């Protein structure tokens, strides 16, 4: 190296001297291993002790690394080979990169963007990274735990963000719906009132319209006025079906003050029986189709439910459930009709008093049990 200040001055001011010196050092560095090791130890020692020299050296290397492609390729090959072969250098590089990544925000962002771009564009690098992460996740419990914690934190952040967006969207929709509903309510008040009036008019009358064929009590929308001239086919069936039993005809006594409802003064036919009768067929529910119900005798009108079961020829069993809206009753499932032996019931009940008295005399008085 330079041994006096004169040589230092010539080296710093004269470019030709500097080039000769650098060429001599490079040649000797390549040929003389002992000189190469001395130079390395000198530079290492000086970098450790002289911070100004270390800073200048770093800036010179950085500038040359950016501008000189040959130097860049050599340094990369050298770093890669040394990282692969030298374990100590490998550990130092890892710790240095880890600390710098943790402390330097600019370096951290640059590394992230570089890794992201390389992962997206380089297929080989992407496959190596996947294999490395998979193996490390399987073999390193600490890394697996950290990765799970990171994924939980990410999923929680996404979930919170999604929940916030959903709540905001729902609140916006509710506000919008409230405004629209208010506008519709203001605009359609007249229409709603008309619909309510129409509904009230439809439910004003109950099932007080009796079909002249099947004698069922129905609502106004289930029947139509019965015009006997409309049914021309099979006139004897028409005559037997159109009974006119529940049509009230005013006479001299009730003409002045008749309290019978108006619908009882007309003859009605239901929409079920009308098409059958029009075709000249016997309707299935017609009273003339052997479905006549006899009047209940006076002796049986006052019976309770138990007494009616005792004398009924057939007892029906059905599952009756309340409907969800209106709490009306409906039959669900099959209806089972069990025939009843009425004669046996008649022979057993009621037992006469004399029969009870004779039975107690034969059995004797009841005695208390000594035990």
Residues of the chain with pLDDT > 90, as a percent, come to 11
With a CB cutoff of 8 Å and minimum separation 6, the contacts of 22 are none
Asked if the structure places residue 46 within a domain, the reply is no
Length of the chain in residues, anyone? 371
Whether 217 and 289 map to the same domain: the answer is yes
Query: In whole angstroms, what separates CA 330 from the centre of its chain?
Result: 32
Number of domains into which the chain is organized: 4
Asked if the structure places residue 77 within a domain, the reply is no
Mean pLDDT in residue range 3-18: 68
Whether 142 and 215 map to the same domain: the answer is no
Whether 217 and 239 map to the same domain: the answer is yes
Whether 217 and 181 map to the same domain: the answer is no
HSE, CB side, 13 Å, CA atoms: give it for residue 155: 6
In a 3-state reduction of DSSP, which class is residue 190?
helix
Whether 231 and 286 map to the same domain: the answer is yes
- Cβ burial, residue 263 (10 Å; 0-12/13-18/19+): middle
Asked if the structure places residue 197 within a domain, the reply is yes
pLDDT of residue 277 exceeding 80, the answer is yes
pLDDT of residue 270 exceeding 90, the answer is yes
pLDDT of residue 358 exceeding 70, the answer is no
Q: What is the pLDDT of residues 107-151, one digit of tens each?
A: 889 988 988 998 999 999 999 999 988 898 899 888 888 888 888
Q: Which two tokens stand for residue 217?
A: 């009590």
Task: Check residue 370 and give its pLDDT.
Answer: 47
Whether 135 and 168 map to the same domain: the answer is yes
- Cis (ω within 30 of 0) for the bond into 350? yes
Whether 159 and 196 map to the same domain: the answer is yes
Is the pTM higher than 0.75?
no
Asked if the structure places residue 357 within a domain, the reply is no
Q: How many Cβ atoms are within 10 Å of 287's Cβ, its own excluded?
A: 19
Q: What is the pLDDT of residues 249-258, one digit of tens each?
A: 877 777 667 7
Whether 338 and 277 map to the same domain: the answer is no
Task: Check residue 359 and give its pLDDT.
Answer: 46
Asked if the structure places residue 15 within a domain, the reply is yes
Asked if the structure places residue 266 within a domain, the reply is yes
Whether 145 and 195 map to the same domain: the answer is yes
With a CB cutoff of 8 Å and minimum separation 6, the contacts of 205 are 219, 220, 263
User: Containing domain of residue 10, as a range?
Assistant: 1-31
Give the span between the Cα atoms of 228 and 249, in whole angstroms: 17
With a CB cutoff of 8 Å and minimum separation 6, the contacts of 337 are 314, 315, 316, 317
Q: What is the pLDDT of residues 331-340, one digit of tens each?
A: 888 989 888 8
Residue 274 pLDDT class (50, 70, 90 cuts)? very high
Question: What are residue 269's DSSP bridge partners?
Answer: 224
Whether 221 and 272 map to the same domain: the answer is yes
With a CB cutoff of 8 Å and minimum separation 6, the contacts of 190 are none
Whether 242 and 196 map to the same domain: the answer is no
Asked if the structure places residue 181 within a domain, the reply is yes
Give the span between the Cα atoms of 196 and 324, in whole angstroms: 24
Asked if the structure places residue 117 within a domain, the reply is no
Whether 194 and 235 map to the same domain: the answer is no
């Amino acid at each position: 190296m330079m041994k006096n200040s004169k040589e230092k001055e010539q080296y710093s001011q004269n470019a030709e001297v500097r080039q000769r010196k650098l060429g001599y050092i490079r040649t000797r560095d390549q040929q003389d291993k002992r000189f190469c090791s001395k130079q390395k130890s000198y530079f290492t020692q000086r970098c450790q002790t002289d911070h100004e020299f270390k800073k200048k050296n770093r800036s010179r290397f950085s500038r040359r690394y950016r501008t000189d492609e040959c130097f860049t390729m050599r340094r990369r090959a050298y770093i890669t080979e040394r990282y692969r072969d030298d374990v100590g250098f490998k550990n130092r590089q890892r710790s240095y990169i880890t600390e710098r990544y943790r402390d330097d925000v600019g370096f951290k962002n640059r590394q992230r963007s570089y890794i992201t771009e390389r992962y997206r564009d380089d297929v080989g690098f992407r496959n190596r990274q996947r294999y490395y992460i998979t193996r490390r996740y399987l073999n390193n419990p600490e890394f697996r735990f950290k990765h799970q914690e990171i994924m939980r934190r990410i999923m929680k952040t996404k979930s919170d963000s999604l929940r916030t967006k959903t709540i905001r969207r729902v609140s916006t929709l509710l506000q919008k719906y409230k405004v629209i509903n208010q506008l519709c309510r203001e605009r359609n008040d007249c229409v709603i009132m008309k619909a309510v009036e129409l509904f009230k008019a439809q439910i004003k009358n109950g099932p007080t319209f009796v079909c002249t064929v099947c004698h069922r009590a129905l609502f106004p929308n289930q029947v139509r006025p019965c015009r006997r001239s409309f049914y021309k086919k099979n006139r004897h069936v028409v005559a037997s079906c159109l009974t006119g039993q529940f049509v009230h005809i005013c006479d001299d006594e009730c003409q002045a003050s008749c309290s019978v409802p108006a619908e009882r003064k007309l003859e009605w036919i239901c929409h079920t029986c009308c098409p059958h009768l029009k075709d000249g067929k016997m309707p299935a529910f017609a009273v003339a189709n052997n479905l006549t119900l006899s009047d209940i005798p006076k002796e049986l009108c006052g019976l309770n439910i138990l007494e009616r079961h005792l004398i009924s020829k057939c007892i029906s069993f059905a599952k009756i459930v309340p409907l969800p809206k209106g709490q009306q009753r409906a039959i669900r499932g099959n209806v089972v009709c069990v025939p009843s032996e009425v004669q046996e019931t008649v022979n057993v009940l009621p037992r006469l008093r004399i029969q009870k008295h004779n039975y107690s005399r034969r059995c004797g008085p009841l005695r208390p049990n000594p035990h």
